Chain A
Amino acid sequence: MAEAVPALGAKIKRAKKKESSFLVTTKRLLKNKLAVVGLVIIAIQIALAIFAPLLTFHDPVKQNLKISELPMFSDGHWLGTDNYGRDVWSRVVFGARISLIVGIIAVSLGLFGGIILGLLGGYYQKLDGVIMRIVDLLFSFPGILLAMLIIAILGTSLVNVAIAISIWSIPSCARIVRGSVLSIKEKEYIMAMKSLGASDLRIMVKHILPNATAPIIVFATMRMATAILSTASLSYLGLGAQPPTPEWGAMISQGQAFMWTSPHLTIIPGIAIMLTVFAFNVVGDGLRDAIDPNMDIQ
């Protein structure tokens, strides 16, 4: 029983400490006003995506030709309707869902591949040459072209868009991770782990990767912006979401025929894309400044 008390004390202390480095970063991030604006926009978008059915009163894909091309601030449709009489607000809100999900899938897959390649390349000198040449090869394709190529092979669908974007994200992620690994693996604590007989896998996963998280987090945030923009671009080109899916790029593509009669059909999804990309970029920038790699040395 006597031991139970200090153990409990240790637990409380651990809970407190766990936040400390995270808290420091958060505090610094919150000092950056632009990043706060970005965070708010992202929070709103996440809220819209999660509560989409509660925030809309019309089915985003249900057509009603009687009320086609209603202007903004019409009765019951505050952002108007498109040429098929679908509520623009509903479509934008459900579009947020698609953008976020595709973005998250694309970035996670890209990170997964990039981290593995980067770790292997950075850690094993023998693999480095091969892996980095593959990465260079992927880099030599213009991003959108590469994505189009992959979609041409896999077929048009949102899932394939996510896969295409993730493959396109792998090389940049691999390079960033490799760079960090190269510097971290020379650190003495890696040598210390080797002298303790740690396996390469343990060293890579438990000791190198946790010390390389800062650049990866920044990369992931910035990459979300690119992924969402690319999803919209590919859908605009007809390679991603197929009608009647409420995707922002697809909405612009459909709306551009009515540019002069109903400009809100292109402007509103355009603003949605712009705000989202802007938000992820400024948060990424803010994070880069906030996560000081030398934070632990004080």
Chain B
Amino acid sequence: MAVVAEKQTSKELTEPKVLLELKGVKKYFPIKGGILQRKQGDVKAVENVSLQLFEGESLGVVGESGCGKSTLGRAILGLEELTEGKVYFQDAEIQDLKRKEKLKFVKQMQMIFQDPFASLNPRQRIGHALEEVFTMHTDLSAKEKRSAVLDLLEEVGLKEEHFDKYPHEFSGGQRQRIGIARAIALHPSFVICDEAVSALDVSVQAQVLKLLKTLQQKYNLSYLFISHDLGVVRYFCDRVLVMYLGNTVELATVKDLFENPMHPYTQALLSAIPRPTVNANRKRIRLQGDLPNPANPPSGCPFHTRCPIATDICRAEKPAWVEYSPKHYAACHFAGQPLT
């Protein structure tokens, strides 16, 4: 507890420290075809993403399916090899490390997956699944491991009797708690939540989000919170990154982004949030057309094919990533212009 308290005070006293930094991260998946499996092109899943993540903050990443949110998360963890770009974690370059050197960082960076059932080995008791984390990274004895796992279970709101159960014997919310327990077992400083609550009921979502918040305060965790649910992001995150077709579109604090969206895509996304008010006077921005093929992205601004205010410059030139107001970045030639 003493360590935690110390961390919190130091956090209050100093400027937020950069924990994770991405510089020009690109991830292309080659398309292979023909008899010889020659490369015929690339699916541009993540296109030139640069951002900073501070200690103890939650950064939401939102966008439609297929916009590269999950790939970005996996690329950060090194589960996908980067095509280009650099990832710095605590000021150290980590993208090209060998497995052994990487283990140090693996302890610090963890991931919570979307489908808690699919992310647990169906033939492994969850107690053993959690013990395995300690087996891989610590020298604890069998007894110590067991007690560490029991502590973990308690921490995420499960009981000792759950130790010997298989994943299919749990409810969805409980399984996600196990996923969380596994991710925080080694006390990481950074956790990627890849649609961590999307598969859960709304009531269970709230509980799990609450748990994530509690853990964040306790361990000074930073979250990269990948989601397509803007309501959840609004509640949970400090800053939000909007992605479209592998590109970063807008980055701002939650308040700023929801109150003053700069990019037409963000505005369209926000207008799609269902609101619990009857007869509310609001305009719904409907985007026309489908998401373009990421293997053959549009010229210029990737959003111009669906953007209601696109002009010739959007088709010709890719907009720059500009800080329009403090900590509010957007990539649009007409940032801030209202949609008509």
Min CB gap B84→A, angstroms: 22
**Of all chain A residues, which has the CB nearest B118?**
A188
Beta-carbon contact of B118 and A10 below 8 Å: no
**Of all chain B residues, which has the CB nearest A209?**
B123
Within 8 A of B (CB), among A193-218: 193-199, 202, 206-207, 210-211
Is residue A76 contacting chain B, with contact meaning CB distance below 8 A?
Answer: no
Beta-carbon contact of B121 and A211 below 8 Å: yes
Interface size class of B (residues with CB under 8 A): 20 to 34
Beta-carbon contact of A297 and B113 below 8 Å: no
Beta-carbon contact of B121 and A198 below 8 Å: no
Min CB gap A289→B, angstroms: 20
CA gap between A198 and B129 in the complex, in Å: 12
Min CB gap A89→B, angstroms: 45
CA gap between A189 and B113 in the complex, in Å: 9
Is residue A17 contacting chain B, with contact meaning CB distance below 8 A?
Answer: yes
CA gap between A264 and B210 in the complex, in Å: 79
**Of all chain B residues, which has the CB nearest A207?**
B121
Is residue A191 contacting chain B, with contact meaning CB distance below 8 A?
Answer: yes
The residues of B that contact A210 with a CB separation of less than 8 Å are: 121, 123-124
Beta-carbon contact of A10 and B168 below 8 Å: no
Residue among A193, A199, A210, A298 with most chain B CB within 10 A:
A193
Min CB gap B38→A, angstroms: 15
Interface string of B108-130 (1 = CB under 8 A from A): 00110111001111111000000
The residues of A that contact B111 with a CB separation of less than 8 Å are: 192, 195
Is residue A126 contacting chain B, with contact meaning CB distance below 8 A?
Answer: no
Is residue B44 contacting chain A, with contact meaning CB distance below 8 A?
Answer: no
Give the secondary structure class of A's interface: helix
Is residue B273 contacting chain A, with contact meaning CB distance below 8 A?
Answer: no
Is residue B334 contacting chain A, with contact meaning CB distance below 8 A?
Answer: no
CA gap between A13 and B166 in the complex, in Å: 12
The residues of B that contact A202 with a CB separation of less than 8 Å are: 136
Min CB gap A85→B, angstroms: 56
Is residue A66 contacting chain B, with contact meaning CB distance below 8 A?
Answer: no
Is residue A75 contacting chain B, with contact meaning CB distance below 8 A?
Answer: no
Interface size class of A (residues with CB under 8 A): 20 to 34
Beta-carbon contact of A195 and B79 below 8 Å: yes
Contact (A206, B132) CB under 8 Å given A195-B111, A197-B106: yes
Beta-carbon contact of A296 and B161 below 8 Å: no
Is residue B182 contacting chain A, with contact meaning CB distance below 8 A?
Answer: yes
Is residue B23 contacting chain A, with contact meaning CB distance below 8 A?
Answer: no
Beta-carbon contact of A17 and B165 below 8 Å: yes
Beta-carbon contact of A196 and B118 below 8 Å: no
The residues of B that contact A189 with a CB separation of less than 8 Å are: 118-122
Beta-carbon contact of A196 and B161 below 8 Å: no
Beta-carbon contact of B164 and A196 below 8 Å: no
Within 8 A of B (CB), among A272-298: 296-298
Which of A10, A13, A191 is in CB contact (< 8 Å) with B119? A191
CA gap between A141 and B141 in the complex, in Å: 51
The residues of B that contact A13 with a CB separation of less than 8 Å are: 161, 164
Interface string of A5-28 (1 = CB under 8 A from B): 010011001100100010000000
Min CB gap B52→A, angstroms: 22
Is residue B77 contacting chain A, with contact meaning CB distance below 8 A?
Answer: yes
Beta-carbon contact of B136 and A188 below 8 Å: no
Binding site for A on B (CB under 8 A): 74, 77, 79, 99, 102-103, 106-107, 110-111, 113-115, 118-124, 132-133, 136-137, 160-161, 163-168, 179, 182
